[in-house]
Structure 1
Amino acid sequence: MTRGNQRDLARAKNAKKQAEQTKGKRTDCLTVEQRKARDAELMRDKQKRKEEEAAAAAAGKSK
């Protein structure tokens, strides 16, 4: 029963190993084309919001 911190070290090592194995894996179950379409739509929405904010700011300054 005198294992000291060996158990804690083993747990930390295993946690690091598990994190390395799951690194970079995607869990959204989308194909490359679906992901590209989703990202493109998000970027279009973001750009539209920015343009609307800029137009509102320009309209606010001209008053």
Structure 2
Amino acid sequence: MSIKVLYRGKEIELPENKLKAKELLRRLGLSPLSSLVIKNNEVISEDDYVEEGDNIRVINAISGGV
């Protein structure tokens, strides 16, 4: 059993079958302040769970401007 995560074009496999999104980000070395977890095409909060079989992507939030 494992959770598969797509991040920066690579599939990463974690050995758990259920994790909170904030724990997922921590394991990837990312901050919830600068990264978003997308589960089944919806952005979720850091306290939501991801599970084996979910379609999970992590993207970095980029800000900037003049």
TM range (shorter): under 0.3
Higher helix share: 1
Higher strand share: 2
**RCO (CA 8 Å, sep 6+): is it higher in 1 or 2?**
2
Please report the TM-score for the alignment, with normalisation by the length of structure 1: 0.21
